Protein backbone atom coordinates (compact mmCIF):
# COMPACT_ATOMS: atom_id res chain seq x y z
CA UNK A 1 0.00 0.00 0.00
CA UNK A 2 1.26 3.50 -0.78
CA UNK A 3 0.03 6.82 0.55
CA UNK A 4 1.02 10.45 0.87
CA UNK A 5 1.21 12.34 4.15
CA UNK A 6 -1.86 11.64 6.27
CA UNK A 7 -3.74 8.88 8.06
CA UNK A 8 -5.48 5.75 6.81
CA UNK A 9 -7.79 3.67 9.02
CA UNK A 10 -8.59 -0.02 8.64
CA UNK A 11 -11.49 -1.86 10.27
CA UNK A 12 -11.29 -5.62 10.53
CA UNK A 13 -14.77 -7.22 10.74
CA UNK A 14 -14.74 -10.29 12.98
CA UNK A 15 -16.74 -13.49 12.46
CA UNK A 16 -19.67 -14.50 14.65
CA UNK A 17 -20.20 -11.05 16.25
CA UNK A 18 -20.62 -11.19 20.01
CA UNK A 19 -20.33 -15.00 20.17
CA UNK A 20 -16.57 -15.35 20.72
CA UNK A 21 -14.70 -14.53 23.94
CA UNK A 22 -11.35 -13.32 22.59
CA UNK A 23 -8.30 -13.95 24.77
CA UNK A 24 -5.44 -12.98 22.44
CA UNK A 25 -4.92 -10.33 19.76
CA UNK A 26 -1.71 -10.09 17.76
CA UNK A 27 -0.85 -7.85 14.82
CA UNK A 28 1.74 -8.46 12.13
CA UNK A 29 3.23 -6.04 9.64
CA UNK A 30 6.18 -7.28 7.57
CA UNK A 31 7.02 -3.86 6.13
CA UNK A 32 5.88 -0.96 8.34
CA UNK A 33 7.30 1.57 5.85
CA UNK A 34 9.49 4.58 6.49
CA UNK A 35 8.34 7.45 8.72
CA UNK A 36 5.03 5.77 9.53
CA UNK A 37 3.29 5.05 12.82
CA UNK A 38 0.75 2.27 13.31
CA UNK A 39 -1.88 2.58 16.04
CA UNK A 40 -4.78 0.55 17.44
CA UNK A 41 -8.02 2.03 18.76
CA UNK A 42 -8.81 1.35 22.42
CA UNK A 43 -12.63 1.37 22.46
CA UNK A 44 -12.79 1.40 26.28
CA UNK A 45 -10.60 4.49 26.68
CA UNK A 46 -11.64 6.03 23.33
CA UNK A 47 -8.08 6.73 22.21
CA UNK A 48 -5.41 5.61 19.75
CA UNK A 49 -2.45 3.66 21.16
CA UNK A 50 0.86 3.43 19.33
CA UNK A 51 2.03 -0.06 18.42
CA UNK A 52 5.63 -0.98 19.22
CA UNK A 53 6.75 -3.62 16.72
CA UNK A 54 9.09 -6.48 17.65
CA UNK A 55 10.30 -8.35 14.55
CA UNK A 56 7.16 -7.34 12.68
CA UNK A 57 4.72 -8.39 15.44
CA UNK A 58 3.00 -6.89 18.45
CA UNK A 59 0.96 -8.68 21.11
CA UNK A 60 -1.92 -6.53 22.39
CA UNK A 61 -2.16 -6.47 26.22
CA UNK A 62 -5.14 -7.97 28.00
CA UNK A 63 -7.98 -7.43 28.25
CA UNK A 64 -8.15 -7.62 24.47
CA UNK A 65 -11.86 -6.77 24.68
CA UNK A 66 -10.72 -3.13 25.11
CA UNK A 67 -9.66 -3.22 21.46
CA UNK A 68 -12.69 -5.03 20.02
CA UNK A 69 -16.01 -3.21 19.57
CA UNK A 70 -18.75 -5.51 20.91
CA UNK A 71 -16.94 -8.55 19.49
CA UNK A 72 -17.34 -7.21 15.95
CA UNK A 73 -14.50 -4.88 14.88
CA UNK A 74 -10.80 -4.15 15.42
CA UNK A 75 -9.71 -0.66 14.25
CA UNK A 76 -6.13 0.10 13.18
CA UNK A 77 -4.62 3.28 11.69
CA UNK A 78 -1.40 4.05 9.86
CA UNK A 79 -0.08 7.62 9.97
CA UNK A 80 2.52 8.65 7.35
CA UNK A 81 4.67 11.76 7.73
CA UNK A 82 5.43 11.75 3.99
CA UNK A 83 4.91 9.60 0.88
CA UNK A 84 5.43 6.02 2.03
CA UNK A 85 4.78 2.40 1.11
CA UNK A 86 3.92 -0.21 3.74
CA UNK A 87 2.19 -3.54 4.24
CA UNK A 88 -1.38 -3.50 5.51
CA UNK A 89 -1.32 -4.86 9.08
CA UNK A 90 -2.70 -8.37 9.63
CA UNK A 91 -4.51 -9.45 12.76
CA UNK A 92 -4.58 -12.79 14.55
CA UNK A 93 -7.10 -13.58 17.27
CA UNK A 94 -7.63 -16.47 19.65
CA UNK A 95 -10.73 -17.11 21.67
CA UNK A 96 -13.53 -19.45 22.60
CA UNK A 97 -17.03 -19.59 21.15
CA UNK A 98 -19.69 -18.89 23.75
CA UNK A 99 -22.27 -21.66 24.22
pLDDT in tens, the chain (99 residues): 899 999 999 999 999 988 999 999 999 998 888 889 999 999 999 999 999 999 999 999 999 999 999 989 999 999 999 999 999 999 999 999 977
Q: What is the pLDDT of residue 83?
A: 93
Q: Identify the CATH assignment for 2-93 out of 3.40.190.10, 3.90.220.20, 3.90.1200.10, 2.60.120.230.
A: 2.60.120.230
Exposure string of 52-88, with b = 16+ CB inside 10 Å and e = fewer, is: eeeeeebebeeebbbbbeebeebbbbbbbeeebebee
Q: What is the pLDDT of residue 32?
A: 83
Q: What is the pLDDT of residue 99?
A: 75
Q: What is the pLDDT of residue 17?
A: 86
Q: From CA 12, how far away is CA 73, in angstroms rounded?
A: 5
- Secondary structure letter of residue 48 according to DSSP: E
Amino acid sequence: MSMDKGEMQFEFALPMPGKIDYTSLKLQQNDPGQRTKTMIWNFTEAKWEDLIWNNGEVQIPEPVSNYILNGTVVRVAVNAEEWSSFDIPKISLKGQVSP
